Amino acid sequence: MEHIVIIGNGISGVTLARHIRKLSNKKITLVSSEAKYFFSRTALMYVYMGHMKFEHIQPYENRFWEKNRINLINGHVDKVLTKEKTVSLSNGNTIAYDKLVIATGSKPNKFGWPGQDLEGVQGLYSKQDLENLEENAPNKNQCKRAVIVGGGLIGIEMAEMLRSREIPVTFLVRETSFWNGVLPNGESEMINEHIREHHIDLRLDTNLKEILSDENGRAKAVVTDKGETIACDVVGLTAGVTPNTDFLKDSGIELGKGVKVNRLLETNIKDIYAIGDCAEQHEAIGLRRPVEAVWYTGRMMGETLAQTLCGNPMEYNPGHWFNSAKFLDIEYQTYGWVFSERNKKDYEKHFHWRHPEKKICITMAFHKETGEFLGINNFGIRLRHELFDRWLNEKRSIQYVLEHLKDANFDPELYATYEDAIISRFNTDFGQNIQPKNKSWKRILNLH
């Protein structure tokens, strides 16, 4: 029986294992040094905040793995020996494989800041990071202030976590506005306001210069490039992630930023594959980046590779871009491409609407000349994924999308709706006369 060894039990590795089991009887081994059972990394914050216990963020009951004959090995892979077709673990054991899949995910970026390895300085990515944070910042008495460095999704989640225990937080963001490398200005500005509403000390356009140590080797303060020294007990480094591939350096597997793979997710060495955050495409797919550290793409790669490994070779072919996040109390979804001012394509035009009082806004991107709808960012409104996927496939115009926007509303029943306000704003901005159509199940479900 063919033995498939998967290094890493995150969403990519586990999705792969589950789908291989659905499709075949192959022997499957999942190796992880982080946790024995799969858990949802994106939910770690809720454990610290007390919304859930750790066991709740494990999507499968523990006996699931045995029942589905997926071997779990709690161990750390040191080396991959491609000629012998084995991997060696740090405890001295080796595992022989027929096919090997590298799904080791990411590690937090460190940019060589002085003091970045002190006690009390940490990222927020793994289960161990969470345990560290519980030690470093159990409450506001033992952690008088935390400084978070890096203006992205993990940074704001970490700020929310610490605020849930009323720990004062200073948030250093290199950019002039929160996440404005990704978000258009209006949205980024709204999130700035929301962060401050939550009593987070947001410092825009501010870089970390150095972390100062106390006599015991613990962080005691940070120094910013504005010359300020901020006393703190915890420093959160959340300036992005890089593929976790150091253990492959001498293996002969081709590495770039991550493990280089082709569209079949094969590496340069036969029978070795890579998926998830640690995989890097030779050529970027569409407007995507070669390395995408996103939950959903990891899942999709797992689904795809399972087909390939079970005799149904399939190229990784991600459909339209989508993503989601939550900024404190504001939900965010995006479908298709809406670029920030910095990365905006020359054909890309934006329509922005923001609610006059509430923290709700959308931005739609469309083609300057053809009027083709390119993508939408929505904050505080839920929109239906299927419909936007279809509209993007059908290359609908922005007028069409607005006209049928009520179909796409995915907010719970009895919520206020904003389609009329959005459309009338568009009509004013662009001198048009679009009339919204009523919601139709027939259109939503494509019934005939």
Partner 1 sequence: MSTLDKSMSLSGEPPKALNTNQKISVLIGMTGLGILVLQLFNLQLGNSALWLSISLLLIFLGVFLFSQAAYAHKHEGIKNDGVWFKSISSRGLLGWLTGIALTGFYIVLYFYPQYLGLVQDGDNTGVIALFDPLSKALSGNPASQWFVYGTLYTVGILAFGIKFMWKYRHSGYQRLRTLSVMFFQTAFAFIIPEIMARLNGDLPYYDLKNMWPLNYYNFERYRVNGFIDAGDIGLAMLLFGILSIFVISPILTYKYGKRWYCSWVCGCGALAETVGDPFRQLSDKSKFAWKVERWVVHSVVVFVTLMTTAVIYSYLGNDTSKYWLTKTSFLIGVAVILTAVFAWAMIYKRDQLQKDARYGAISYFVIIMVLLGMHFFSGEGNIFLFKSSTLRTTYSFLIGSIFSGVIGTGFYPIFGSRVWCRFGCPMAAILGFQQRLFSRFRITTNGGQCISCGNCSTYCEMGIDVRAYAQKGENIVRSSCVGCGICSAVCPRGVLKLENGPQEGRINPTEVLLGNDVDLMELVNRK
**Residue found under tokens 């739609």:** 364
53 scored as a contact of partner 1 (CB under 8 A): yes
* Burial classification of residue 66, based on how many CB atoms lie within 10 Å of its CB (0-12 exposed, 13-18 middle, 19 or more buried): exposed
* Out of 134, 214, 246, 394, the residue judged to bind partner 1 by CB under 8 A: 134
By beta-carbon proximity to partner 1, the closer residue of 174 and 198 is 198
Q: Which residues contact 317 (CB under 8 A, 6 or more apart)?
A: 263, 285, 304
Residue choice 26, 27, 42, 68 for contact with partner 1 (CB under 8 A): 42
Question: Can you tell me whether residue 384 is helix, strand or coil?
Answer: coil
Close Cβ partners of 438 (under 8 Å, ≥ 6 residues apart): 406
Give the distance, in angstroms, between the CA of residue 180 and the centroid of all CA atoms in the same chain: 16
Cα–Cα nearest to 23, from 73, 68, 71, 72: 68
137-196 binders of partner 1 (CB under 8 A) = 138-139, 142, 164-166
Nearer Cβ to partner 1 (55/341) = 55
Between CA 319 and CA 188 the distance in angstroms is 26
Question: Applying CB under 8 A, does 356 fall inside the site for partner 1?
Answer: no
Q: Is 445 in the site for partner 1 (CB under 8 A)?
A: yes
User: Least distance from C-beta 266 to partner 1, angstroms?
Assistant: 17
Q: Which of residues 293-352 bind partner 1 (CB under 8 A)?
A: 295-297, 299-300, 303-304, 307, 312, 314, 316-319, 322, 324-326, 328-329, 331, 333
Out of 54, 351, 400, 430, name the contact with partner 1 by CB under 8 A.
54
Residue from the set 2, 3, 52, 175 that interacts with partner 1 by CB under 8 A: 52
- H/E run at residue 365: strand 361-367
Q: Is 49 in the site for partner 1 (CB under 8 A)?
A: yes
Closer by beta carbon to partner 1, 126 or else 297: 297
Question: How many Å apart are CA 41 and CA 45, to the nearest integer?
Answer: 9
**Which of 226, 230, 50 lies closest to 148, judged by CA?**
230
Residue 443 makes contact with partner 1 by CB under 8 A: no
In DSSP terms, 264 is beta-bridged to none
Q: Which of 382, 425, 437, 443 lies at the binding interface for partner 1 (CB under 8 A)?
A: 382
Name every residue whose Cβ is closer than 8 Å to that of residue 314 and which is 6 or more positions away in sequence. 264, 304, 307, 308
Q: Does 97 bind partner 1 (CB under 8 A)?
A: no
- Give the residues lining the site for partner 1 (CB under 8 A): 11, 23, 40, 42-43, 46-47, 49-54, 56-59, 61, 130-131, 134-135, 138-139, 142, 164-166, 197-198, 295-297, 299-300, 303-304, 307, 312, 314, 316-319, 322, 324-326, 328-329, 331, 333, 382-386, 389, 410-416, 441, 444-445, 447
